[in-house]
Amino acid sequence: MPLARPVRHAVLFLAAGSLLLTGCGGSGSAAPPGGGPASGGSAGYPVTLDNCGREVRVDSPPERAVSLNQGTTEILLSLGLADRMVGTATWTDPLPKGLEKADAKVPRLADDAPSFEKVLDTEPDLVVSSFASTLGKGGVASREEFEKLGVPTYLSPSDCVGKDNSGDGDGVRTEPLTMETVYGEVRDLARVFGVEERGEKLVAELRSRVRKATAGLDAEDVTVMYWFANAQSPYLAGCCGAPGVITRELGAKNVFDDTEEEWPQVNWETVADRDPDVLVIGDLVRKQQTAETAAKKIEFLESDPVTRNMTAVREKRYVLLPGQAMNPTVRTVEGVEKLAAALREYGLTG
């Protein structure tokens, strides 16, 4: 990452030290704030969180937050925090209904990853990210680089708790993801911004939606495959990420649950051999891989000699999901709802 040109206002603003970050060990859960509010600070602050092996200390409610991924952006918008955001980035999908108006108030720094300089020019007092690949080496910048300028960072626990990102690809799950980790992220961010009641309300709504979607559903004998992107060497869901959450909530079986890789690339011959009952297809608006949209994916499936005779393709058992529903976010609940509804429609549930 090349060094950014001097950003005088950002450095002066950040040097005031309204927010501090120091490194230490920790889990992905919130830790009680120590002591009372800092001198001249807000009631209830400082707030300290143990986040992905770092201690994040916030001395006052953030007013100039930047979200580097759509997942964290949607959490902040869902918590009613658009007026405290100065930038968003890295988009895969349109926003869900109800968040568009709030999002229109927040500058979009880039459709993909913004430059470090672009982020600093917003004079952020907090940077949040869904993925270590965005907030790390090869991404926008490392947490250490932001720390040197006094900018605290928050990484979604779903990308570090029970997950190894040290190798190539999208990481390996050492233990299955659960929605509790996502709910924990909602609570963390609500606490950082001093809107804990909003966080609890959002978690309660998400839990209620999952219960309603899965009530009375028996999908024990249904097999599913999740295709995120790329036609030549498709990225398919392994056992234990967000698609694993969806599958387990419904009691179904992912045909690639024998791999702990987050998104392994699998050849189509192997896919055809496993012949899933239902194909869950990512419908993306970004332009990074081949076959990003659902329409392009279906066109490929129905024309390729290897895939066109698969049961799900012949029966047109497709479930279209936005990319965010296939990532560990609040939209994962949307994935549960849409797949549950489709299984009922296809007559595959008991």
Q: Could you give the CA distance from residue 163 to residue 81 in angstroms, rounded to a whole number?
A: 29
How many other CB atoms are there within 10 angstroms of residue 34's CB atom?
9
What does the pLDDT look like over 106-133, one tens digit per residue?
999 999 999 999 999 999 999 999 999 9
The pLDDT score that the predictor gives to residue 286 is 84
Secondary structure (DSSP) of 219-271: -TT-EEEEEEE-SSS-EE--SSSHHHHHHHHHT-EETTTT--BSS-B--HHHH
Q: Do domains 8-206 and 216-345 have the same CATH topology?
A: yes
What does the pLDDT look like over 282-291, one tens digit per residue?
999 888 888 8
Q: Could you give the CA distance from residue 76 to residue 65 in angstroms, rounded to a whole number?
A: 9
Does the bond joining 46 to the residue before it have cis omega, within 30 degrees of 0?
A: yes
Domain ranges (residues) in the chain: 8-206, 216-345
| Secondary structure (3-state) at 198 | helix
Among candidate residues 311, 68, 66, 44, the one with its CA nearest the CA of residue 191? 44
Number of residues written out for the chain? 350
The pLDDT score that the predictor gives to residue 7 is 39
Task: Please tell me the pTM assigned to this model.
Answer: 0.86
CATH topology of domain 8-206: Rossmann fold (3.40.50)
CATH topology of domain 216-345: Rossmann fold (3.40.50)
What does the pLDDT look like over 261-273, one tens digit per residue?
999 999 999 999 9
Given a cut of 90, whether residue 41 has pLDDT beyond it is no
Cβ contact 10:18 at 8 Å: no
Kindly indicate the confidence band of residue 137, based on its pLDDT and cuts at 50, 70 and 90.
confident
Q: Could you give the CA distance from residue 155 to residue 183 in angstroms, rounded to a whole number?
A: 14
Cβ contact 75:129 at 8 Å: no
